[in-house]
A = this chain, B = another copy of it.
Amino acid sequence: MAHGTAQGTGPSAARVTSRDVARSAGVSQATVSLVLGDKWRGRVSERTADAVRAAARELGYRPNLAARSLRLGRTRTVLLVVPALTNEFFAHVYTGAARVAADHGFGVVLYPSPEGVGPARDPFDSARASLDGVIASSMAADALAVVRGGGLPLVMLDSDPDDPATAATVNLDIGDGMRQAAEHLLGLGHRRIVHVAAAVDSWTFRVRARALAGAVRAVPGTVLHTERAALGVEEGRQAALRALTGPGPRPTALMCDDDILAAGACKAARRLGLRVPEDVSVTGVDDLALATAVEPELTTVTLPAQAVGAEGMRALMAVLDGEPAGDTTLPVELVVRDSSAPPPPGG
């Protein structure tokens, strides 16, 4: 109480340090550190410990993280790099990752790679926290270099497992998801399919294209075309429009690389006077809130986003503990809703 107490609103009020606590409790600063760091068992008397804790509470003591980090050489903070904040998928990844991190006493700092494309600005400069490790999710190829630069343990999510610079990867079996969707449509009788593909150069989209092509080719008499679109409703609409109005017989199914493109595809169909799913079937990937917000509700591949984040963080924690951490692949599942049906009789 001697000097301006702890919780002044202003920045001015001098911070309470462990020395203040020590003085107030009548012990040395080292003892404070021991007690509050929970390392006092059998080294400090119960009574002293209580006094320290009381004093700390009283003064509103908060350890200075910068000092601790400096001393320890570790920050207990990891960076999560995502291509976009606007996509729910990454919000869920964050949630899963943050939960596991918290269990280990770690914090997670989010770094949204600007615009999701192009080389990210240096996150090690922008996120001013010092970092113990990095998790990067679904990065486009050219945004990767920067993430790698830090020389920190790196776990990649939804990315090429063969990348040599990563300590571990956690992937979605997205290829299987595309296969499920394709087989669903093929089973319904569709033979002319257009892949409305994301115009993003990343592993996850390359896998989708490959799996889709494989599944469709396996059935004789099928035709697969591809239309590329940037990730957006309007872009999806335009790509679908091209697909539906191009030369030759009209496709009966549009398989979109994500739900946003699928929403655009539905709009394109509707504006052409086509009904979904009676005239055209549309499928997405992600199972965002959007998938059930639109009408008809989308048949889509649901992705365990939170599990991805959680597994990724577990892997990183293991790496930081010096344990090995291999590559994980999480299963995904098709959810059939109202945007897919057998092709029209003539189709």
The answer on a CB contact under 8 Å between B128 and A77 is yes
Query: What's the minimum C-beta distance from A221 to chain B, rounded to whole angstroms?
Result: 33
Chain B nearest CB, measured from A161 CB (Å): 17
Q: What is the distance, in angstroms, from A345's C-beta to the closest C-beta of chain B?
A: 25
A203 interfacial by beta-carbon distance below 8 Å: no
From B73, B91, B110, give the contact of A86 (CB < 8 A): B91
Q: Tell me the A15-67 residues at the B interface (CB within 8 Å).
A: 60, 62, 64-67
| Chain A interface residue bracket vs B | 35 or more
**A209 to B69, alpha carbons, bound, how many Å?**
47
Question: Roughly how many angstroms separate A293 CA and B69 CA in the complex, as a whole number?
Answer: 46
Is B73 a contact of A124 with CB atoms below 8 Å?
no
- Do A293 and B270 have beta carbons less than 8 Å apart? no
Q: Which residue of B lies closest to A288 (CB)?
A: B86
Once bound together, how far apart are the Cα atoms of A77 and B79, in whole Å?
14
Q: Which of A85-114 contact B (CB under 8 A)?
A: 85-86, 88, 90-92, 94-95, 98, 102, 106-107, 109-110, 112
In the complex, besides A7-B149, A9-B320, A91-B112, 18 extra interface pairs with C-beta distance below 8 angstroms are: A8-B73, A9-B74, A10-B73, A10-B74, A11-B132, A11-B151, A11-B152, A13-B151, A66-B75, A77-B129, A85-B95, A86-B92, A109-B127, A109-B129, A263-B293, A266-B295, A267-B295, A293-B293
